[in-house]
Structure 1
């Protein structure tokens, strides 16, 4: 049990590292756009390149898992990924920035698949759910990264200096965490796995497709609420800019807090019942935000939606990993392809619905789709 606890701390360190990196990055994107001289269209293409890289990585991860276990992939990618922060700060133009983000997306995608596979492996050995707490650690890291960026801006650190300091910190975390990661157990990774050929259609089982579709629907709703919540408060509730900006903060804090107790709830109520209740909580949050014409009720509704959407993705990811008897990384890679399609399409679909039917109706539609 002591070894499992140490291994859980190790993979928690990787989740924390990724959260800090993304929190630092997203908080600095506006300044990066100015320093690189990108217009809004160019910035959009640069950010899209990262998403394309992640989707490419989902396909590469399946083939890579035929030769390397998740521990080996994490040890390499977690040491390489942090250096993209200072690298992006010195890109000379939109083309090189796009290529940098494409490569970043590939490395990040490989790491994402492997660290979730490690989380499933910890669950197997601990014989209890842990993925919710791991995703909570990611959320804490994102809050720390964004908070650190606020302090760096106030201290008037340059973009490059800030990113160098963050990168060094992340590499130190990765080095310590990588020492205690798990090799995949024989049950999860039999010898035949290493010799079996992984084709384009490999791993697309019925369970993966069904769970992937469910994950995509939840991701669509999560992306819509988190991306457009502030716009809803501003346009529909007349919130000032500083109040509207609290929309995402309320959402992510509520989501992270719920994930801290999500594994306990998972053990007590079971996966199916918990997902149903979480979707009901999401619906209640959307209803509160849409039905009550108040800024503060709008914030409360977004927080309730954060609570509701918190546990679904970790539970679905766990089900995918435990549902395969052969290659955990391949199953998670295939599932993540569909999940990330929901992440990518969520804000865009919501924008079309909002333009056609209004933001309030769009929020309701997105919840109905995920529920």
Structure 2
């Protein structure tokens, strides 16, 4: 178990690295727009290119998973990805920036699939849930990245200097973590015979489609609350700009804090019950925010939504990985295609609803996808690895 603990620390380092990178990046986007001379439409297209790259990566990851295990993919992508920060700061215009973000998205998508596959593999070896804590580490990394950006701005570092320093730190983390990652266990029968060809329809099982739909629904709700919470406080509750900016902060701190204890809650209540209670908490938070005409109750409602939405994605990802009998990375890649579609569509769909019905009504309409997730929560049952743990023999492989 000491070896498994080492491997858990290693994959935690990768999650931390990605969180720091994204926290540093998003906090610098306004300055990046100015330095690259992008208007709002051009900035939107540049950011959209990254999402398109991630979706392309989901398809590529499925094919790569048949030839490379997640450790090999992580070792390469985690060393390449950080250098996109200073690269983006040096782009001369919108077209090159868009191409850069498209490539960033592909690399990031491959890393995302592989690090979640590693998380599932660690759960198998440890015979206990760990994905919630890994996603919590990601959230801590994002907070560290954004906090580091505040310090860099106060120190009057240039955008390029800041990104070079961050990239160097991230590569150091990747080098340390990559050496201790584990090799995925494949079925012995697959090891002895030629791997089957991965086609466009490979991996699209009924379970993956259902879980992907749930992941997309969660992503829609999460994107709506995190992206529009501050706007709701400002427009509907009359909050000053400094107070309205606390909306996202309250959401992400509550979400990260809950994920720190999420694995313990998972073991205590099981995946299905925890998802249902989490959706109930999210719904209660939405209702508190939209029905009580108070800025502080609005902030409390957003925090409650952060608590409720915290464990859903880690549990769903775990269910995808444990529910497959063969290629974990392929299953997660297919699931992530649908999940990322929800990430892409969520803020836009909510914006349309807010335009048509008002922000408060749009928030209240989130009760619909929350109800759907609750109704299909039984699909997350494979994430409850505790029962299998009582009969399974511990498997420990040596990290290279």
- Residues 312 and 289 of structure 1: is their aligned pair in 2 closer, same or farther, counting only changes over 3 Å? same
- Residues 274 and 160 of structure 1: is their aligned pair in 2 closer, same or farther, counting only changes over 3 Å? same
Contact kept in structure 2, 1:289 and 1:299, CA below 8 Å: yes
Distance 1:108 1:193 in 2: 31
- Residues 352 and 195 of structure 1: is their aligned pair in 2 closer, same or farther, counting only changes over 3 Å? same
Distance 2:302 2:149 in 1: 24
Gaps of 5+ in 1: 363-368
- Residues 290 and 76 of structure 1: is their aligned pair in 2 closer, same or farther, counting only changes over 3 Å? same
Contact kept in structure 1, 2:180 and 2:399, CA below 8 Å: no
Contact kept in structure 2, 1:189 and 1:327, CA below 8 Å: no
Residue 204 of structure 1, CA deviation: 0.1
Contact kept in structure 2, 1:212 and 1:339, CA below 8 Å: yes
Residue 192 of structure 1, CA deviation: 6.1
Contact kept in structure 2, 1:193 and 1:327, CA below 8 Å: no
CA deviations over 1:163-202 (Å, ceiling 9, x no partner): 0000000000000000000100134993268621000000
* Equivalent position SS for 1:195: coil
- Residues 272 and 90 of structure 1: is their aligned pair in 2 closer, same or farther, counting only changes over 3 Å? same
Distance 1:251 1:319 in 2: 25
Distance 1:13 1:149 in 2: 20
Contact kept in structure 1, 2:186 and 2:327, CA below 8 Å: no
Residue 139 of structure 1, CA deviation: 0.1
CA deviations over 1:70-103 (Å, ceiling 9, x no partner): 0000000000000000000000000000000000
Contact kept in structure 1, 2:36 and 2:93, CA below 8 Å: yes
Distance 2:198 2:27 in 1: 39
Contact kept in structure 2, 1:279 and 1:308, CA below 8 Å: yes
- Residues 345 and 62 of structure 1: is their aligned pair in 2 closer, same or farther, counting only changes over 3 Å? same
CA deviations over 1:118-151 (Å, ceiling 9, x no partner): 0000000000000000000000000000000000
- Residues 199 and 262 of structure 1: is their aligned pair in 2 closer, same or farther, counting only changes over 3 Å? same
- Residues 27 and 209 of structure 1: is their aligned pair in 2 closer, same or farther, counting only changes over 3 Å? same
Contact kept in structure 2, 1:66 and 1:194, CA below 8 Å: no
- Residues 190 and 184 of structure 1: is their aligned pair in 2 closer, same or farther, counting only changes over 3 Å? farther
Give the length in aligned residue pairs. 365
Does 1:209 find its partner at 2:209? yes
2:184 is aligned to 184
Contact kept in structure 1, 2:218 and 2:309, CA below 8 Å: yes
- Residues 315 and 116 of structure 1: is their aligned pair in 2 closer, same or farther, counting only changes over 3 Å? same
2:101 is aligned to 101
- Residues 117 and 189 of structure 1: is their aligned pair in 2 closer, same or farther, counting only changes over 3 Å? farther
Distance 1:134 1:336 in 2: 17
Contact kept in structure 1, 2:211 and 2:316, CA below 8 Å: yes
Give 1:298-317 correspondences, 5 Å limit: 298-317=298-317
Runs of 4 or more above 4 Å deviation: none
Residue 336 of structure 1, CA deviation: 0.2
- Residues 71 and 79 of structure 1: is their aligned pair in 2 closer, same or farther, counting only changes over 3 Å? same
- Residues 239 and 214 of structure 1: is their aligned pair in 2 closer, same or farther, counting only changes over 3 Å? same
- Residues 331 and 188 of structure 1: is their aligned pair in 2 closer, same or farther, counting only changes over 3 Å? farther
CA deviations over 1:330-350 (Å, ceiling 9, x no partner): 000000000000000000000
Residue 370 of structure 1, CA deviation: 39
1:331 is aligned to 331
TM-score w.r.t. the length of structure 2 is 0.90
* Equivalent position SS for 2:157: coil
Contact kept in structure 1, 2:212 and 2:339, CA below 8 Å: yes
Contact kept in structure 2, 1:220 and 1:342, CA below 8 Å: yes
Contact kept in structure 1, 2:186 and 2:326, CA below 8 Å: no
Root mean square deviation of aligned Cα: 3.9
Distance 1:148 1:194 in 2: 48
* Equivalent position SS for 2:197: coil
Distance 1:188 1:257 in 2: 40
- Residues 291 and 189 of structure 1: is their aligned pair in 2 closer, same or farther, counting only changes over 3 Å? farther
> Which sits farther off after the overlay, 66-75 or 183-192?
183-192
Gaps of 5+ in 2: 363-397
Distance 1:337 1:233 in 2: 32
- Residues 100 and 283 of structure 1: is their aligned pair in 2 closer, same or farther, counting only changes over 3 Å? same
